[in-house]
Amino acid sequence: MKKKIPKIILILSFVLYAFVLLYGVYSAFAGFTFFSTVYGVEAFVGAIILALWILCSIPVIPVCLIYQTAYFLKRKCNIEDNTLKIIKKIVLLISFLPYTFVLIYGIYSAFAGFRDIGHTIYGVNAFCEAVVEETKYLCFYPVIPPCLAYQLVCLISLIIKKHTIKNPISKLREIFYL
């Protein structure tokens, strides 16, 4: 039973993609309305793009992709555990790049100025405005949600590994005061 659970989770993670495709097919025949109603291939593509964008903004697809990648790397590609740990650490470091970019852009804007509607601001106000604006852009174009999802998955797996207990959910509740 223990060996079948990862396969069942893998199959369930692919169900999401089937849902997106079915939504696209439904929209192709029923019509897709964003700004105006379209049918056929345009509706199919528009519905799929919208569904994928929504599911990436709430980190559903990134979590599924992380699980699928880890499953195939570990089970199908015969990658050793040490190599997999190195890959995980590299991807974890890369997932912090958007936050680094936002902070660097905020510092740059504090000194060089941040162009707001009709005027330029400097200093702490420019830093705050730049950080908020760039964070909004990186959430709108789903960059930060997948990175945050991966960081949460790494954090939870680290907590579960460090505290080898019978019931990891109760330990998470204890740690996060749930």
CA–centroid distance for 61 within its chain: 7
pLDDT tier at 170 (50, 70, 90 boundaries)? low
Contacts of 88 (CB under 8 A, 6+ apart): 154
pLDDT in tens, 14-24: 777 788 888 88
Residue 121 or residue 175, greater confidence = 121
pLDDT tier at 164 (50, 70, 90 boundaries)? low
Q: What pLDDT is stored for residue 49 in this prediction? A: 77
Tell me the C-alpha distance between 43 and 30, whole Å. Answer: 9
| Percentage with pLDDT > 90 across the chain | 1
Q: What is the DSSP-derived secondary structure letter of residue 140? A: H
Tell me the C-alpha distance between 3 and 25, whole Å. Answer: 35
